[in-house]
Amino acid sequence: MPPTISLVAVFWLLTAGTALAADEQATSSESPSTTPTTVTPTLPVPAPEATPAASRDGDAPPGRVLNGHVFLPSSRVAGALTTTSFGTFLQTAYGSTTGSAQIGDTLYSGTFNYAGVGAALGYEFAFLDHFSVRVTIDEFVYSGINGSSALVIGTALSTAGSLGFTASLPIGDSLKVGILVDGTIGPGLALTIGSGISSIIKSCQAGNCVVGEGGIFGKQNSYTVTPALAMNWAPWRPFGITANVSYAFVNQDLNSGTFSGQSFGLGVALDFDFKAISNVPIGLQAVFAWNAPTSGSNLEHVSDLGGGIFYTGRPHLALGLQLVARRFKVQPEVNVSWSTFLATIGLRYYW
């Protein structure tokens, strides 16, 4: 064989062998691996529990909640709820009444205007879930605001300190009833310029001029014990009813002597909290309170009718304005009037 043909044959064999080896390597890389693959199962991770909106915002103290309703406090109607709280209140009043008074040779008659201002502090402590004790201190001043009113109505200052106890009993989730007992000491002082001048003139006309403090300054101290039955009912989450009936035993220490009497009281407060059904943090309240003497000539009828508006965005806070029309005698020498309006700005914090 010629040498040229032999070199060609060798070159062809080397090329064919290289191509075959490359095909085998490619086939080996495409074939599946025979080594088994271990799969580790993944356990499901539990989702975090959803936090209720009330828990995020802070729950209201349980003492003021029935059936999901957070009750609004009333300055006129005491209920059966037992809470730990502190409150402060500012009170203002404006009114007019009619009457007549003879002072010397001058007869003052017609309409007399007056105003009032006062403040109160209150603390309540709840214990054993269904009991509470409370203490309240308040004062109020009424005064005539022009010449004739200052003579006829004068100025009356009343202060009071009271200590009370509540024992309550829940009935289901929506109703709570209770027994309340309050004792109050109320020292007071009345400055009646017109009455004092009139008494001095009369004594001088009788030929015996006596100038004493008794005719101008009137002592008006009172001691009261008031047992009551009360209830709070929440038939619907945004709506609540507070009511009570009471009977007061009163002893009065006046300039003219010591007197005793008794009176019957009734009070109802209705409140609606828009926060319970919407995002509006507003509560509304309607109030009626009535007190009538059953004995004793120096006790007066007092009737209150009104309402209030509260901010309810904080479950531990009660902040509101209450407006009331009052029927009473601002002073014994004038007539009964419905034209007295009282405004109370109050803040009470619960914990």
Q: What domains, with CATH codes, occur in the chain?
A: 59-345 (2.40.160.40)
Task: Indicate the pairing of strand 155-171 with strand 175-186.
Answer: antiparallel
Instruction: Count helices and strands (H / E) in the chain.
Output: 4, 15
Q: Which of 224, 217, 117, 88 is nearest to 161 (CA)?
A: 224
Q: Which of 321, 269, 310 is nearest to 290 (CA)?
A: 269
Residue 33 is given by DSSP the state: P
Cα–Cα distance for residue pair 341/290, rounded to 1 Å: 15
Q: Which of 168, 214, 165 is nearest to 192 (CA)?
A: 214
Q: What is the pLDDT of residue 103?
A: 75
- pLDDT per position as a tens digit, 237-250: 999 999 999 999 99
Does residue 5 have a pLDDT over 60? Answer: no
- CB-neighbour burial class of residue 46 (10 A; exposed 0-12, middle 13-18, buried 19+): exposed
Cα–Cα distance for residue pair 137/210, rounded to 1 Å: 37
- pLDDT per position as a tens digit, 202-222: 667 666 766 555 567 777 899
Q: What is the pLDDT of residue 124?
A: 98
Q: What share of the chain is helix, strand, coil (3-state, %, to 5)?
A: 15, 55, 25
Q: Are 244 and 229 in contact (CB under 8 A)?
A: yes
- pLDDT per position as a tens digit, 314-328: 999 999 999 999 999
Q: What is the pLDDT of residue 102?
A: 79
**Mean per-residue pLDDT for 130-147?**
94
Q: Which of 233, 285, 260 is nearest to 80 (CA)?
A: 233
| 49 SS3 class | coil
**What is the model's pTM?**
0.79
Cα–Cα distance for residue pair 235/264, rounded to 1 Å: 28
Task: Kindly report the number of other CB atoms within 10 A of residue 11's CB atom.
Answer: 10
Residue matched to tokens 């009535």: 290
| 9 SS3 class | helix
**Mean per-residue pLDDT for 296-311?**
92
Task: Kindly report the number of other CB atoms within 10 A of residue 58's CB atom.
Answer: 10
Cα–Cα distance for residue pair 179/173, rounded to 1 Å: 19
